[in-house]
Structure 1
Amino acid sequence: MSRETLSHLNTNTLIGNTDARGTAWHYRAEEQGQESNHYPGPIPVADVERRLFHWTAVSRRVAVETPVDASRSASSSDYGTTHWQPLEDRQAICRDDTGAVMGIFAPGYQMHQYREWLLTTVADILDDDLCISSAGVLRGGAVAWVEVSVPESITTPEGVVFRPNLLATTSFDGSIATTFKRTVTDVVCDNTREAALAEDGQDYRVKHSRNSMARLGDARQALALVHTMAEDFAAEVAQLCATTVTDSQWDRFLDAYVRTRDRRTDQPLHGRALTLARNRREALDRLYRRDPRVHPWAGTAHGVLQAVNTWEHHESTVRGSSRADRNMLRTVTGGFAELDRLTLRTLQGVLG
C-alpha cells in the first residue's frame, strides 16, 4: 500500500496534459472534492501555488522532555513533573499552516521554500514549447516536485516515442538535496529515463547549507538543460538501436545481470533466493522477446535497457509503499539513472 492515502494523492498532486498522457494510476473522482487534480492541458503556475505551495516552512525551537525524579528534585512538590530542556544546536522545520514537523536539523540547515526554488525557477523558463506537466507534495509536505515538459511527444526514426522533462525537486526532511534534473519519459512504457547516461552534467544539485541561497541564480541558469534534451536523447536512442545484441549475448547478459551465486561467497543460491533469481530472469526474457513495450527493439542495446527498465518500473517487488510512490522517489533521488548505467555497464562487459 502507498504511504499516502488516495485522498492525499487526489488533492496534493496535480497531473497535467491528460488529453495526451491519460490519467494517473491513483485517479479517483470521488476523492477530489469540488476541484479535479487532473488537467486536460498544462497546469497553470497559479494553481500549483494555490493548491500545493500555499504554506511556508518555518524553523521552530527543539526541546527534550526531562522528567524530575525524587533524587534530583530540590522540592518534593516537583516530583513527577516534567521539565523541558531546549536544544540550542537543533531546529525543527515545520509547516506554518498545520505545525507538522517535517525534519530536525542543525542550525546551519537552510530551508529552500517550494514557491521560490521549485515554482518561481521553473516559471521563468516556461514558453509556448514548455509547460508544467505535474507537481505534488509527499510525506506530509516534506518532499515536493514540479515537472516541466513539452506538450507533445516526440518520435525518433527508430520508432521510440518519448517526452523530455525537467524535474525540479527538494525536501524538508533531509532525504534529498534541491535538484534540477532532466529526465525522459519513454512513452511506450511510461519509463522515466535520463536524457543521457553520462555520469556528469545531467542534473544540478544544491545542498541545504548556510550559503546555498547564493546559488539560486545558478540554478535558474541550469534549467536551460531542458532545451537540449530532445536532441541528446534522440542521439542516444540511435546509438543504442545501432548496437547489435545477439541471442547468445542476451543470454550472457542475463547470466551477468541476474546472479544465481552469492556475491560474497560465490556459492550457488538456494531456496527462495534462487527462486526469486530464476523468476526475475524468466520475466526479463519474456519482456525482451514478447512484450510489445520491449520486443520491437529486441536484438539491440536499447531493447536490453528497455527490458530491465520496464521490469523495474512495472513488475519488480515493492515493499513499504506503492509502486507509483517508489518510482517517483527513485526518479527524484537518481535511482533509475543509476539502474540504467548499471545495465549498460553489464551489457558492455558482455559485448566486450
Structure 2
Amino acid sequence: MRWISEKYCTRGLLIMSQETSEWLNTQTLIGMTDQRGTAWHYRAEDQGSEPNHYPGYVPAADVRRRLFGWRAEAVAPHYPVPFDAVPETPADPEQPGYRLVQVPGSPFPMMADLTRKIVYRCDTGRPLGVFSSKYPVMQYTDMLLDGLAALITPDGLAVSDDSLGIGSAGLLKGGATAWVQIERPDTVKTREGVDFRSSILASASMDGSLPLTYSAVNQVVVCDNTHAWALREAERSGRMWKLRRRSVLSQLQLRDAREALDMIVEAEQSFAADIAKLCDLTVSRPQFGRLLDDFAPLPDADSGKAARTRAQAKRDQIELLWTSDERVTPWAGTGFGWLQAVNTWQHHVRPVRGDRGGRNTAYAITGKRADADALTLERMFAVLTPA
C-alpha cells in the first residue's frame, strides 16, 4: 500500500507507456499462424521461455494464465500531511471522507481520501485508474474470458470450419486495456478479390477509457488492416450510404456458440456486400485528384515551407499507394481503393510517436479506427457526389 500511495503522490497517474517489442511478444498472444504467418511484431529473442505465437487457436487456459493471472485491487489514495495541518477526521468510520491512516516508516501522518479509490495491479502495483469509491472493480477473466468460454474451442484446436476459437488476446498500457478476439479459421474471398476475416472483438479497460464492448471487426488479409464500419443504403440516393461507425454487439446475445457463429457470418456477409458497393463506385483520375486535395490540401505560400513539405509528402505517399502498392492497386479506380489507400496510409505509413503496432491495436479495440474509416468514407462521398 505504501508503494501505491508514494507512486500516486509523486507521479500521479501520468504513467504513459508505449508497448515495447518485449511487451508485444509476451503480453499479446497470437493464434492461427499455420494459416496466417507470424504477427508483424514477432521477435523470437523477445519472447523469453514461452512463445506467444500458436499454430492454431490460442488456448483459453493460456490467456487466463499468461495475461489475466493477476487481480485488479483497489485502495483509497493517501498522502502525507504535516503534523500541524492534520484536520479533524469524520466521527463515523463508514462515512465517506478523509481519514488518518498509519503507514510504517512514514515521517508524517497519512491522509486517506475515502471518496475515491486507486485501481492497481496486485502483481506489480502499477496504478491503472482513479475512480469514485463506489466504482465496482471487475476482473478481465470475468469480463472477457468467462463470458466467451462456452463459445469457443478451449484447447486451441479447430475441429471444423464452423469452430470458434481465440485468434488473439492481449494487454495494452501496462494492463489498463485488454482484448480477446474470437473467430473461425476460414478466410472469406470476395468476387472483387478482397480476402478478409471477420471476428468478434471483446475489449475492456481498467482505467475507464472504454466500457466492456463486443464489436464485429474485419481484417483485410493483404495488409492486415482492421475495419469496423458498416454501410447502409440511403433512401435519397443509390450512390450514397449512411455509415454506422462501429458494429457493436450485445454481450447478452452471446448465449451459445451457434449465435456467436451466426454473428460472425452476418458480419462477413455485411462486409462483403459493403466491399461490392464500394468497388462498384468509380473513382476517375480527376476525382482522385479532388479526393487528394480534400485529404491533403496544399497550404498557401504564407503557411511556410515546412507545412507545404509535409502536405506534399502526404500527397506523394497516397499517390504511391494508389499507383504502386499491392495493398491498394487491385482496387485503384474505385471507392474501395480510395478507402484502402487512406486506411493503409493510416496503418502503415503515417508518422507516429512510439510503437506503430501498439497504436494500431489500441485504435482497433477503442473504435478509433472505425471512426477514421467512417470519416474517410464521409469525405469521399461528399467529394464524389457534391450537393
TM range (shorter): 0.7 to 0.9
**Quick one: distance in 1 between partners of 2:145 and 2:54?**
18
Q: Secondary structure of 1:23's partner?
A: coil
Are 2:76 and 1:61 aligned? Answer: yes
Checking the alignment, whether the CA contact within 8 Å between 1:164 and 1:184 is kept in structure 2 is: yes
**Quick one: distance in 1 between partners of 2:19 and 2:295?**
33
Are 2:240 and 1:240 aligned? Answer: no
Equivalent residue runs for 1:112-261 within 5 Å: 112-126=138-152, 128-194=162-228, 196-197=230-231, 198-199=243-244, 202-204=247-249, 217=252, 225-261=263-299
Matching residue's letter, 2:176: A
Q: How many residues align?
A: 329
Checking the alignment, whether the CA contact within 8 Å between 1:103 and 1:173 is kept in structure 2 is: yes
Checking the alignment, whether the CA contact within 8 Å between 2:228 and 2:245 is kept in structure 1 is: no
Matching residue's letter, 1:313: H
| Alignment partner, residue 12 of structure 1 | 27
Deviations 1:250-282 (A, max 9, x none): 1001111112349xxxx9632222211111011
Q: Secondary structure of 1:296's partner?
A: helix
Percent of aligned positions that are identical: 43
Q: Secondary structure of 2:214's partner?
A: strand
Q: Which structure 2 segments of 5+ residues have no match?
A: 1-16, 88-105, 154-161, 232-242
Checking the alignment, whether the CA contact within 8 Å between 2:167 and 2:182 is kept in structure 1 is: yes
Q: Secondary structure of 1:86's partner?
A: strand
Deviations 1:28-56 (A, max 9, x none): 22332332110011111111111111122
- Single out whichever of 108-117 and 2-11 deviates more from structure 2: 2-11
Are 2:315 and 1:281 aligned? Answer: yes
Deviations 1:307-333 (A, max 9, x none): 0000000000001x2000010111111
Post-superposition shift, 1:220? 5.7
TM-score by length of 1: 0.86
Checking the alignment, whether the CA contact within 8 Å between 1:112 and 1:170 is kept in structure 2 is: no
Are 2:369 and 1:336 aligned? Answer: yes
TM-score by length of 2: 0.79
**Quick one: distance in 2 between partners of 1:312 and 1:220?**
36
Are 2:325 and 1:325 aligned? Answer: no
Post-superposition shift, 1:227? 3.3
Are 2:47 and 1:32 aligned? Answer: yes
Q: Secondary structure of 2:115's partner?
A: strand
Question: Aligned match of 2:63 in 48, 66, 73?
Answer: 48
Matching residue's letter, 2:182: V
**Quick one: distance in 2 between partners of 1:149 and 1:276?**
40
Matching residue's letter, 2:125: G
